[in-house]
Structure 1
């Protein structure tokens, strides 16, 4: 197995150039200086920040912009991709962005630092973190990680939180596993046998590895016991309170686009192409379609219909979990970092999913 994986290594390294930055839960990567804007500068203008390079995972924003859904909701949008090494919330807090699509766990950590951060809408309905192992690995359960080496980008951020959640679910202490910071080289590290497992994301790392020819398995985290929140629609209390209708419009239009994509995935490809200029050949399009297929369930959740409504109980559990890890610098009241006040009621939604 190891020899076969090594033969794939050159392919994997090429894929990693794209894959390293291709998850909403990961850090910001360099992006081209490209923005899209409609309308004149007035109170309806909204700048939406996207925390890494153009990617199909941002398709709801691209679709809502391209199809005029934001305009129909009464807002004129500018889409802004973050630059290299830019913080998740730097531009938001500086007033350069009004809303940002970012991970809920990172938002909670920022709020613990006294920053004005609040999540106003759900972007991913479930957490995409997963443990990835070679197909012939003796690791079959999270408990089997005992005594093994697990590769993660670094001991910080979403991958690290997912790793700690996996260990907690397995009933393992961190001392029972070797956590190896390997940067964004999960594919190469797993292929070469440098690590026994990696923690990645179902709609990115797993997809890219399979496309590169790796024979892998995923050991999923139990959604009911994973106290983490992934991609969310984040803003500041100040902006939301001063622009309540615009805040509702962003959540509503973005959510509408998610459901539109679920019904017709091709519109996501079409709307993403002007932003992701790498989508020019069958190989890159195949990759984008595979990522999209894995991402749609994250948008629409078990109900099969995105509503934007956030699970406030999960946010509360996440804050307690992050506090237990020592990741929070100060006390965080869950009600201060998440609100459904800007979610427009949806008659088609499964009311049981609402908090």
Structure 2
């Protein structure tokens, strides 16, 4: 069963005696979520004895809160927000990698011929994320560029991409795999990756409540196994994944969704996860990212990354990094 936009609480057992599981996305469904919908369509969760309900999110913060409060069993959210929320007392644990490579960057109008952060001086850069805005400032300082030379303009999250695509500002700082496929058809753009300036925070992971993991570890393993099976199938047949997404969520732009899925697929692995399964999480990258977030005031001291992140379920899949995503 797939429920989109349904928030009713589930029971301990689903249809046909299957175990009911509620999984909340970090946002409304988009291209990066297509492998999850493919896993549902092909019955991978059913094969594991799970009756999965997919709930759309509004923000990663909201999804983290829902997981921490036990309203849903699993969620997915940006790792930067998971770290920040943990410092504020949210009780969650990252149980598996989704996109290990850092993906934050500045998307800029191609006509400006921007080749690096120094070329951003005098430009208006849009942002909907305080963390991303601070990471940009930190990267500029590291590059010897005055952050004050850039005008950062805060835009409400849902309007960020349409505002930039419509011609406002000269660029935006955001998650590049999510945004670039959406804005490029309307406004040809280039990318300045903040990874080139030392940003190391992994992009996304799957999260759960520690109490759920402790009491229902086997359910967690089954959920992740089916989810990674869907990701592997999407890598092998991208169009099937997009078709599954569009069947479940009508109205999605097919071209943008395909671009998002392939771009995030290329961020599935990192140098720190190569040779490991795609579920494996690079603790050193998490620790480095946490340090960077404390330096910019986006995370509190005292977060124990070894407790926030677990590799208990890295054997939920046999697919190893690096992976190869292409249309």
- What TM-score results when the alignment is normalised by the length of structure 2? 0.83
Decide whether the 8 Å contact of 2:27 with 2:60 is kept in 1: no
Please state if 1:81 is matched with 2:56.
Answer: yes
Q: Match of 2:207?
A: 234
Please state if 1:293 is matched with 2:253.
Answer: no
Q: Match of 2:308?
A: 337
Please state if 1:208 is matched with 2:182.
Answer: yes
Q: Match of 1:131?
A: 106
Q: Match of 1:10?
A: none
Provide the secondary structure at the position in 2 that maps to 1:89: helix
What value does the CA root-mean-square deviation take over the aligned residues? 3.1
Q: Give the CA deviation at 1:254.
A: 1.3
Q: Match of 1:46?
A: 21
Q: Match of 1:252?
A: 225
Deviations 1:43-69 (A, max 9, x none): 832211112222221122212222121
Distance 1:34 1:318 in 2: 33
Decide whether the 8 Å contact of 1:259 with 1:306 is kept in 2: no
1:222 to 195, 206, 211: 195
Provide the secondary structure at the position in 1 that maps to 2:219: helix
Decide whether the 8 Å contact of 1:150 with 1:197 is kept in 2: yes
Q: What residue ranges of structure 2 are gaps of 5+ in the alignment?
A: 323-327
Q: Give the CA deviation at 1:117.
A: 1.3
Distance 1:62 1:347 in 2: 20
Decide whether the 8 Å contact of 1:255 with 1:306 is kept in 2: no
Provide the secondary structure at the position in 1 that maps to 2:205: strand
Provide the secondary structure at the position in 2 that maps to 1:123: strand
Provide the secondary structure at the position in 2 that maps to 1:106: helix
Q: Give the CA deviation at 1:185.
A: 3.3
Q: How many residues align?
A: 313
- What TM-score results when the alignment is normalised by the length of structure 1? 0.77
Distance 1:133 1:245 in 2: 45
Deviations 1:253-311 (A, max 9, x none): 212211111111122122212321114xxxx3233223333232123567699611111
Please state if 1:197 is matched with 2:168.
Answer: no
Distance 1:168 1:275 in 2: 45
Q: Match of 2:140?
A: 167
Question: Aligned in 2, Cα 1:163/1:276: closer, same or farther, shift over 3 Å?
Answer: farther
Q: Give the CA deviation at 1:339.
A: 0.9
Deviations 1:164-197 (A, max 9, x none): 45435534353343322133335534754x5332
Deviations 1:229-262 (A, max 9, x none): 2221011111111111111222222122111111
Q: Match of 2:119?
A: 144
Provide the secondary structure at the position in 2 that maps to 1:326: coil
Distance 2:165 2:61 in 1: 28
Q: Match of 1:323?
A: 294
Q: Give the CA deviation at 1:119.
A: 0.4
Distance 2:142 2:47 in 1: 44
Please state if 1:312 is matched with 2:283.
Answer: yes
